[in-house]
Amino acid sequence: MAKIRVLVVDDSVVVRRLVTDLLSADPDVEVVGVAANGKLALAKLDQLTPDLVTLDIEMPEMDGLETLVHLRKRYPTLPVIMFSTLTERGAGATMEALACGASDYVTKPANVGSVTQAQAQLREELIPKIKALCGRVVVTRLAVPTAPARVPPTASPSRADILAIGVSTGGPNALAALLPALPADFPLPIVIVQHMPPVFTRFLAERLRGLCHLDVQEAEDGGVVRPGLVWIAPGNFHMKLRRDGTDVRVVLDQEAPENSCRPSVDPLFRSVAQLYGAHTLSVVLTGMGQDGLHGAEAIRQVHGQVLVQDEATSVVWGMPRAVALAGLADGVLPLGLIASELLRRAQVGRPLRFAQPLGR
């Protein structure tokens, strides 16, 4: 199989060398060129024909965002991974880049002076994303859950009282398509785990709040779960739910990462399964890896419902694929049909029909 051809775009000589050395050491990846700014990168694209571009956000002459806009006009499907910083400015720019068509992002190592540490961080974060976005993920190693395989779809689903969503790579844009399609009177509280670091989740919530008819907030410990409100787990915290009298509240903790993630989808799904049982409705959207698999198993064991996004509309069909292959999905749907299916299932056991959302 041919190597994945990567163009590295960054104004820092140190970062270019760091990334180039790291990628060149992987037998599946080949760095076909480097560029110090967006103008140089755009000039090299036709000649180099890369399979993927890593693109720094802050560069002289032409920054990453402007470069991305020009690149997308010429190469609408070329995978692009943005290099961001763990700062408010970096998080805001990353959200804008994702909205402009970036495939994913990685955060720059905080200390590039420590080559070993910086390479270890990038090896863990960057290389899997490159391979996933270029379709090179080895999927035969999926852990199959202990529940009976090919669980039949729920014939007569119970009334749903909670909607839990798990998502990773490609998630911000998937959520930006799904949530605005839900009306203001959508009757289920919504809780979401999106794999993102601190600060980034707050910017994600702000972006989605501006698009939606629902109130989208970064989750707060003790926050009340109610219809009309969407809680997004904050970076570096697992999110779970607990009963408090007649209320259900958010619980945030920093227990060990699961599936190398914190927040992780599995703890949230297990929590809602325990609390809501058969009245749980869940969705696993685009993302690499298999976070959410065992949580989906827990939901199906209590006769809750699990939907997953299909391969054609997923940026990376990893998380939903794991659930679908394990036979735990009640439906495998394109992103554009998930909102209408959620509305249909949310109407079960409720006499009123919901207003269809209007454009914003």
Angle at which helices 293-301 and 265-276 pack, to 10 degrees? Answer: 10
Segment holding 16, helix H or strand E? helix 13-24
**Residues 95 and 204: beta-carbon distance below 8 Å:** yes
**Residues 195 and 261: beta-carbon distance below 8 Å:** yes
Give the other-Cβ count within 10 Å of 49's Cβ: 12
Q: What share of the chain is helix, strand, coil (3-state, %, to 5)?
A: 35, 20, 40
- The amino acid present at 44, given as its one-letter code, is K
Q: Find the catalytic residue in 158, 168, 264, 282.
A: 168
Q: Is 104 a catalytic residue?
A: no
Q: Is 303 a catalytic residue?
A: no
Q: Find the catalytic residue in 51, 104, 291, 310.
A: 291
Q: Is 168 a catalytic residue?
A: yes
**Residues 103 and 6: beta-carbon distance below 8 Å:** no
Q: Find the catalytic residue in 51, 195, 266, 310.
A: 195
Q: Look at strands 162-167 and 190-194 and give their pairing.
A: parallel
What is the spatial distance between Cα 42 and Cα 222, in angstroms, rounded to a whole number? 48
- Residue located via tokens 């699961």: 258
Give the active site residues: 168, 195, 291
